[in-house]
Structure 1
Amino acid sequence: MTGIVSYELNDGVARIVMDDGKANVMSLAMLQALDAAFDRAAADRAIVVLSSARPGVFSAGFDLKVFAAGDPGASLAMVRAGAELALKLFTFPQPILGVCRGHAFPMGAFLLLGSDLRLGEAGDYRMGLNEVAIGIAVPSFALELARARLHPAWLNRTATTGEMYGPADAVRAGFLDRLVPATDLDAAAETAVAALKQVHRPSHALVKQRLRGEAAARIRAAIDAELTPAAYAARHRPEPVA
């Protein structure tokens, strides 16, 4: 697999790397490529390391140009693909290590929230749920995902005000698990992978299901209730002119 998403399998570890040549915008094409990569990792029963090849950015989030174009069908297809991908990561039967070297705007942040262990590079960048700051309500699937991984006070701040967090606060909030100096991040990732290889996989999958099953059901229900053509069109219908 090549192009905007690469896939490399070695010694039971699947390295999935995003690189669209710019800011890893979560277009429908990017989301579909990531979805296919995770399906391949599931078939390979591999530990996943998810990262970006772009310096200073993990992902710029959903493609705002699609929203701005005013095509509800295209917007729905993109958002639903993102929601399904986030749920896939959240319930993935193998361990996922997310490696973040830069900005993670909402859909990028959702990928980190779906990962099991998240390493962040120490640096000057931001992540969070900034939708309300740009005129978008945070989708319910994302709120349920964030509710399962973020500390409540920090979730309320980012979801209701659009506040974005620097790396240290991202750890406190729950977007990341720990920070590592840039020069040590690759070595730290390899150490983390070595530790994940010691995890008993059937137990990992069972505990993940027990721990996340109720939240996963709420995410599934939110997708099925909100991300349908009728529901999406109703919420995005233009206001009547007075």
Structure 2
Amino acid sequence: MEYTLQNQVAVLKFDDGKANVVGHQFLDDINAGLDRAEREDAGAVIIRGRDGMFSGGFDLGEFKKGMAEGQAMVKRGFELLVRLTGYPLPLVAACTGHCVAMGAFIVMASDTRVGTRGDFKVTLPETAIGMDLPPILIALTESRIVKEHLTRAALQSEIYTPEQGVAAGFLDEIVDASQLDDRAMEIARRLAELPKGQYAANKLRVRARTLEAMKTDLASMA
């Protein structure tokens, strides 16, 4: 992860040269970046992938190590989703390309989601690859995906383009790749001007039901 602080906006940029998989290193890095942003009194945070790839989801290599290892990674990933959903600072996702599975959930947990035009996939493939959608993921999905697309997106593993992802609720808007960083920074700077305490408090109020459902399911995994 590359961390920079620009005009009170913390930018967390992830680039593993591949699929930006969500494994233990990714989780360590993003939590450290979120901690640092709060410690350095940032006004907002941008999470950015590498060009062409936001994230391809969980690190499948961890699942190959055994059930315990896979479950440990998944639980940490779900803890991150709860943290992002209730994170006190404005959180902007700069979705740089493909956004799949856990990558899509990280985007959905962010406050404002800006995507990149192009031949990219936005999808929740869990049904298609034979995986369950636990209540924590369903609660997050229901809070962001519009009702008309919920069955197609969550149950039927439909693959969306970035343009279609806006209509479905994965993203708020899309721009050309050359404009993504400027647009994400523009949004983050505007949000950073809002009163911090009230932003944090109202976020918890607005997302109270979603967070309660997510935390309840997470607690059952202990």
Query: Which sections of structure 1, spanning at least 5 residues, go unmatched?
Result: 229-242
User: 2:24 & 2:185 partners in 1: Cα distance?
Assistant: 31
Which of 206, 216, 239 is the matching residue for 2:211? 216
Structure 1 contact 91–209 (Cα < 8 Å) conserved: yes
Alignment-derived partner of residue 14 in structure 1: 10
Query: 1:205 offset after TM fit, Å?
Result: 1.0
- Paired residue for 2:172? 177
TM-aligned CA deviation for residue 126 of structure 1? 1.0
Q: 1: CA distance between counterparts of 2:178 and 2:200? A: 33
* 3-state SS, counterpart of residue 8 of structure 1: strand
- Check conservation: 2:91, 2:188, Cα contact below 8 A: no
Aligned length, in residue pairs: 221
Point out 4+ residue stretches in structure 1 off by more than 4 angstroms. Answer: none
Aligned to 1:205: 200
2:66 and 2:36 map into 1 onto residues whose CA distance is 31
Counting only pairs closer than 5 Å after superposition, residues 90-239 of structure 1 correspond to structure 2 as: 90-225=85-220, 227-228=221-222
Q: 1:113-152 CA distances to partner (integer Å, 9 max, x unpaired)?
A: 1111111111111112111111111222111111111112
Q: CA RMSD in A?
A: 1.4
- Higher RCO (C-alpha under 8 Å, 6+ residues apart): 2
List runs of 5+ in structure 2 lacking aligned partners: none
Contact 1:32 1:81 in 2 (8 A): no
Structure 2 CA distance, aligned partners of 1:127 and 1:140?
21
Instruction: Compute the displacement of 1:70 (Å).
Output: 5.9
- The code of the aligned residue for 2:113 comes to R
Q: CA separation of 1:136/1:70 partners in 2, compared to 1, >3 Å: closer, same or farther?
A: farther
Bigger radius of gyration: 1
Asked whether the equivalents of residues 141 and 154 of structure 2 are also in contact (C-alpha less than 8 Å), the reply is no
Give the structure-1-normalised TM-score: 0.87
